[in-house]
Amino acid sequence: MKSCGLYIHIPFCLRKCNYCDFVSFTYKAELADDFLLALFSEIELLAEEYDHPILETIYLGGGTPTCLAGKVLVEILHQVAQYFPIRQGAEITCELNPATGYQTDLEMMFNGGINRLSMGVQSFIPETLEFLGRIHSVEQVYETYHAAREVGFANINLDLIFAIPRQSREDWRYSLKLALELKPEHLSLYNLKIEEGTPLYNQYVAGRLDPVDDETDLWMYQQAIRSLQMSGYEHYEISNFARPGYASKHNLGYWHYQPFLALGPGAHGFDGSKRYENASNLGQYINLLERGYLPWKGILDLARKDLLEEYMFMGLRLLRGIDLEDFEYRFGSSLMEIYSSQVQKLLDLGLIALQDGRILLTEQGLYLGNEVFVEFLL
């Protein structure tokens, strides 16, 4: 592995959102200090483990990375830069909660090398934000967004969520419209999935939530695709849209099934042949690193079967689909040798197409992606 992406998981939030099931803890200064010490030694250990590969992209995610001061985030990057060579002009993204982006921090981040922001806006409707358990207001979205622009950020993504219980079709159109008015370079639109173990799930089980029906979910998705395309965004992945040239390089790495390293509790890294999983318990994570070990809880050696399956369902998420030559180059046999009956079935169902040496989802396939992906499990 000569080069890869790097994901850094900052496991803190001021408050966890009602739909979130990622690894995150309530922010406390002492805890954050312990974490940072651990993270610093993890950076060093991991760089040695993989012999200092070149980082093509860096992504600070969470949690809420901006729980930490801008200065601290920059220190993390410095530590990374000390142990890894970083590609000239690499995309360096940081996730941002609109409630935590102060001008001074933003300046610090921008000057420290972060060149892309991903803001969790989710909705422009106060009631919806409250329902989701977001800690920020609509006003804060504007303040933070404009502050970021002023500081100089020229590549900003906004996250929005649709198919939320009690969100009307009109609500969704309204949020889309306001998001587009801000002219971000990138938009990620997610349909809400009610994950087990979240407050929303508990409400759902108790019968206090009507999940959104298929029709409405689909309508909202189609509506979004149409209005974003009309505004000049390219729909390049199931949930992602970008102005030309602004597709997320870091995330493209995942979908192209390129290797990436990962740091932080609960993070998963993939080096091309195995996947490691960090301890998600913060205490355990810190403890292992204090004793000088990488905090790996599990290592999964990926068999050819796994590599094939994952390559397929990651790659098919891209609207361009998968390059049949790339497939053959990677696996030494053609796609049709391995998946002929599946491909035929999906072609018959009209869920995929073969075009210009690529295999890709049709419009129907886009809506029913899981039905396609499941076929490629061996």
Partner 1 sequence: MSKEQGSNNIRNFCIIAHIDHGKSTLADRLLEYTGALSEREMVDQVLDSMDIERERGITIKAQAVRLNYTAKDGQIYELNLIDTPGHVDFTYEVSRSLAACEGALLVVDATQGVEAQTLANVYLALEHDLEIIPVINKIDLPAAQPEHVKLELADLGIDPDEAILCSAKTGEGIPAVLEAVVERIPVPSGTIDKPLKALVFDTMYDPYMGVVAYLRVMEGLIKPKMSMFLMASKKSYEVDTVGIFSPTMTPVAQLAAGEVGYVTGSIKDVKNCRVGDTITDADKPTAEPLPGYQQVKPMVFSGLYPVESADYEELRDALEKLQLNDASFVFEPEVSDALGFGFRCGFLGLLHMDVIQERLEREYNLDLVMTAPSVIYRIYLEDGDMHEISNPALFPERNEIAKIEEPYVKTTIMLPENYVGPIMELSQERRGIFKDMQYVDTDRVKLIYHIPLSEVIVDFFDQLKSRSKGYATLDYEIIGYQESNLVKLDVLIHGKPVDALSVIVHEASSYNKGQALCRKLKEYIPMQMFEVPIQAAIGTKVIARVNIKARRKNVLAKCYGGDITRKKKLLEKQKEGKKRMKSIGSVEIPQEAFMAVLRLDDED
- By CB under 8 A, name the binding residues for partner 1: 5, 7, 9, 189-193, 214-215, 217-218, 221, 238-239, 251, 253-254, 260, 262, 266-270, 275, 277, 300, 309-310, 313-314, 317, 349, 351, 366-371, 373-374, 377
Nearer to partner 1 by C-beta: 193 or 330? 193
Nearer to partner 1 by C-beta: 28 or 274? 274
**Minimum separation from the CB atom of position 231 to partner 1 (A):** 21
Q: What is the identity of the amino acid at 139?
A: E
Nearer to partner 1 by C-beta: 244 or 350? 350
State the sign of the Cα–Cα–Cα–Cα dihedral 201, 205, 207, 213. positive
**Minimum separation from the CB atom of position 288 to partner 1 (A):** 18
Nearer to partner 1 by C-beta: 43 or 212? 212
**Minimum separation from the CB atom of position 365 to partner 1 (A):** 9
**Minimum separation from the CB atom of position 206 to partner 1 (A):** 22
Please tell me the chain's helix, strand, coil percentages from 3-state DSSP, rounded to the nearest 5.
45, 25, 30
Distance CA 268, CA 342 (A): 29
Nearer to partner 1 by C-beta: 205 or 374? 374
Residue 5 has which token pair?
Answer: 């992406």
Nearer to partner 1 by C-beta: 18 or 103? 18
**Minimum separation from the CB atom of position 171 to partner 1 (A):** 18
Closest to 316 measured CA to CA, from 233, 375, 265, 243? 375
Q: Does residue 161 contact residue 192 with C-beta atoms inside 8 Å?
A: yes
DSSP calls for 318-331: BTT-EEHHHHHHHH
Sheet of 156-162: strand order equals 234-237, 240-242, 186-191, 156-162, 116-122, 86-96, 54-62, 3-10, 260-263, 268-270, 274-278, 296-301
**Minimum separation from the CB atom of position 377 to partner 1 (A):** 5
